[in-house]
Structure 1
């Protein structure tokens, strides 16, 4: 059967680095308070003239270079984002143009922080079905544009950035020993949409709005649902937590990550962590973590990785792949 193999990774972080101390003069908060509750120490903010597509283009170029695949061999670009440049056209078409790609197709996926997992699952399905041989999957966000800077419970959490993965079709035996994406698990439950949302939109207010979150409730759902989806994906792949070499979680909050790893009975040494330096970059957080860890040589051929995320919707899911 056809498998979607990871051929390359790449990422881009805006030049502006914002330490926790930046918030101290603006809000009733402190570096100690933010670190203790989230594990975040700093994040990156896009420049005024930078758009989400700009970040995505730079991450995409880095991933293509890492993969050694020229842009004219790509069949598709999928961008996961909740902060598009415009209502339409899609960020993906802007990335397509920015990369100089004049063939194939491009589209966006919006599942907030779970967006990259959803995008990987889409790319995997297209490759399995023979609709594409090579797909560039990007998570890119400029969440600094939708922050309420008077709300200390949310504005200290998020950052901007982009990460990308190049997937390529290869033949596998259809077993858990194959390289590439082995299983995916996607879920959503709209009953919980008011736990994490943006209070604006084209059809409601005509504005972009600001992010709103009931943090305590999101935390409880996250810990339960992330461990659950990871187990489901592993079962689909014919594996169990003992086979996992690396957990690559959505980088939202250190306490959520630690609790999820504990439920999966995984030591923190097997968890890729970037939350301290990036903050929560929503759909960009998993591809950023993948690219950073890959650039450090942490992933070895044949190792099993589990990526998992949850975001507004609520939407959540996971991907199991062999490196």
Structure 2
């Protein structure tokens, strides 16, 4: 005997229909699965440099992941290389010096800083111990070879400005790109450069070994104002404006992660911060690293905001010698925004 549909109890039909309806409603009411976080690549002009420490520290503290971000930090020895990677679309952002946003605007490239790490450069103009008697100020660099991380880098901008302010035109000395860290130390010790600009922890290492002396110190606000005439926003996170317009949510999350990191830094000692850092960044001499970090702490902002007088100071420096900037109209409002850091809750 065949079992036709007519033999199936009507009550069962009703139960099945009700069950199907409830499942359909449940599917409609259930939230859609959140898309996997977009992988963001950020180029850092040297992940082990203390001027860029907030990038690595944010990663170590888990603040990117807490924001639902999948961030990969890549390292290049100079900011100019990171800038080129960003313009080519290989990375979404760069942790480098703010002054690149001004230089790029003269080339028709719209780039914005969205978080400021350093209210001052954190750079130090060192003079080799063998040249210290002959070079007592930037007015004495005529005929000398001055080390910078790379031509077109922020160290070259600042070196030229300091020399010009001391009355020495750029044609009266030689800029030699020597990189950073070990290559800079080697150039100084071998006498290939008479003086040079670098950051921590390289500064402390050369001072501790007696291979160099401080000529100009821009690791704090007072020293920077004396050298440059104002605060000089330097290490920062900048992105292309087109990316920013298309990814405001990711930008806001990055801003929150970095502002939380800056707040952490101002609430903890150099020893506590160093304890969070990977061994390869700290190096073999932990005491030296902590000492260098302690000397660097005054340069960091606490809130990621652009200092009020900062952009004008940077523009003044670049306009003094950079032919691409000199005499050009620069719309500083297009080079940074405090929008995202302003939205970070206390």
Range into which the TM-score falls when normalised by the shorter chain: under 0.3
More strand by share: 1
More helix by share: 2
The TM-score with structure 2 as length reference comes to: 0.25
The TM-score with structure 1 as length reference comes to: 0.27
Q: In terms of Rg, which structure is larger?
A: 2
